Chains A and B, each alone.
Chain A
Amino acid sequence: MVAAIKAVQLSKAYNGVPAVRDLNLTIQQGEVFGLLGANGAGKSTSVECMLGTKTPEQGEVSILGLNPVTERRRLFERVGVQFQEANYPDRITVSELCEETESLYRTSVDYRELLEQFGLAEKVKSPVSDLSGGQKQRLFVVLALIPNPEVVFLDELTTGLDARARRDVWKCLKSLKESGLTIFLTSHFMDEVEVLCDRIGILKSGRMIFCGTTQEAVSSSPCDTLEEAYLWYTEEEHADENI
């Protein structure tokens, strides 16, 4: 089976300052992978290099065996993306944004059902700009799921959501995971990755300093909880980079 996502020696710098260094990653189909790291650790840059929206200086990426730049149009029939910052035209309504997104794909799922699942059914006629931060966030998860993707990228998926809304999003993602969806997410929340992720990667200054299951993250550190382990990894100056 072809890997869902494969990155080999990915590196990217901005004006000579490295943002991602030598990232190697293989994610199997059906796996949920969470990328952790402080703000500025290189999470979004990693995601964007994988998607081809930023050009890495070095390294190769394939998603579902396809090159995200040269085979862009074929690939993005099968991959959904939610970017960190919400982007939509002025004065567009929820249904218009969904309808337009739906029209871009050959196959898609009914967006009304997704809106229902994500608790946005009543907002269908509202302008997107009138939604609260959490509602917008959920809407952009819905947009990423409209193509009925095999792989979905969710950048800071639940930032700005309240506790209830986060649980609801997790529930939806868990059921999608059961149906075989591969999920790549970035997050700040340890409880979230513990609930959702099969494996996690921890980024520090653009370098992956840990990659494995959440249990492994805890057991290979002197700590008892994932949160402590995460802080230990990211603050420890001499962390072993080959764990």
Chain B
Amino acid sequence: MKTFKTMLKVEMKLSLRGMDMVIFAICMPLVMVVLLGIIYGSKPAYEGAQYTFLEQSFGAVSTIAVCAGGVMGLPLLVSDYRHKKILKRFQVTPVSPAFILAVHVVIYTLYSVISLMSVYAVSKLAFKCEFGGSFWGFIGSYLLVMLSVFSIGMMIGGLAPDSKTAGVAASIIYFPMLIFSGATLPYEVMPEIMQKIVSVLPLTQGIKLLKATALGQPVEEVWTAVIVLGLVMLLCTGIGIKFFRWE
């Protein structure tokens, strides 16, 4: 416990000094909320809808931080620590790989949760959004989506041979995920054919789940999404830990 607390404290400080997560995980989702708020105001999501467009987007925007931490932050950090031989130094101490990964998963979880809370605060205070869904349903879905996206990051970090490859792989996954799964560009404004294509992305499933729980809608496909996300999480975490290399 002492080890975990100290490592978390030190690594969190280093991460904050880096600023990139503050920009991509905390500021960027807020910018999105403000933009959507200014563009759509309190317009309903569609003619006769019970909720506004912004309320509908809440679940999606709350995943921007998850993507930034999971698909960019985590894999780049792991490969950078390997490249700089920091992991090698850890290898000659009693700490285990899973422990080091866990510390960083907690750090990116903190960023995600802070982003979620700030996105909620701004939507509610500035744009009078109401959260009409199930609180625990939403929190449960959010955790599932987060761990599933983080596991993709752990897999990239574990498999990438060097930090350049990790950077390329992370970008190839990060940008399409951010744009096409509905996290930034709303799914509802996409043409139908595009909606069908992007449905294969795990985060699209995750965002559907988050939207449904945030708006209090019955979800027909909820189990598909839960199963997809659960499988991604198990598979990628397994691969990430199995292929973990110190050097």
Write the residues of chain A forming the contact surface with B, with a CB cutoff of 8 angstroms. Answer: 51-53, 72-74, 76-77, 79, 81, 83, 85, 87-92, 96, 99-106, 147
Contact = CB atoms under 8 A, between A and B. Distances in A.
Given A73-B96, A76-B94, A87 B84 contact: yes
B193 interface: no
Chain B CB count within 10 A is highest, among A51, A52, A101, A104, for A104
B91 A53 contact: yes
Interface residues of B, number: 26
B10 A76 contact: no
A19 to B, nearest CB: 16
Given A53-B246, A91-B14, A99 B6 contact: yes
B17 to A, nearest CB: 5
A105 B7 CA distance: 12
B7 A100 contact: yes
Given A73-B96, A83-B85, A100 B247 contact: no
A145 B6 CA distance: 19
A83 B85 CA distance: 10
A83 B93 contact: no
Contacts of B85: 83, 85, 87
Contacts of B13: 96
Nearest to A68: B92
B57 to A, nearest CB: 35
A99 B10 contact: yes
B48 interface: no
Contact of B14 (A72, A81, A89): A89
Contacts of B218: none
A94 to B, nearest CB: 12
Contacts of B6: 99-100, 102-103
B10 A83 contact: no
Nearest to B6: A103
B88 A89 contact: no
Chain A CB count within 10 A is highest, among B6, B10, B13, for B10
B86 interface: yes
Interface in B1-16: 2-3, 5-7, 10-11, 13-14
A152 to B, nearest CB: 11
Interface of B: 2-3, 5-7, 10-11, 13-14, 17-18, 81, 84-86, 88-96, 246-247
B92 A104 contact: no
Given A76-B93, A90-B18, A91-B18, A103 B3 contact: yes
Contacts of B91: 52-53, 72
B92 A89 contact: no
Nearest to B81: A89
Nearest to A102: B6
Nearest to B246: A53
Nearest to B16: A91
A53 B82 CA distance: 13
A103 B86 contact: no
A73 B96 CA distance: 8
Nearest to A98: B10
Contact of A83 (B2, B11, B89, B95): B89
9 contacts: A53-B88, A53-B247, A73-B94, A83-B88, A85-B85, A87-B85, A87-B88, A90-B18, A104-B90
B94 A77 contact: yes
A103 B92 contact: no
B19 to A, nearest CB: 10
A90 B246 CA distance: 18
A88 B90 CA distance: 10
Nearest to A95: B10
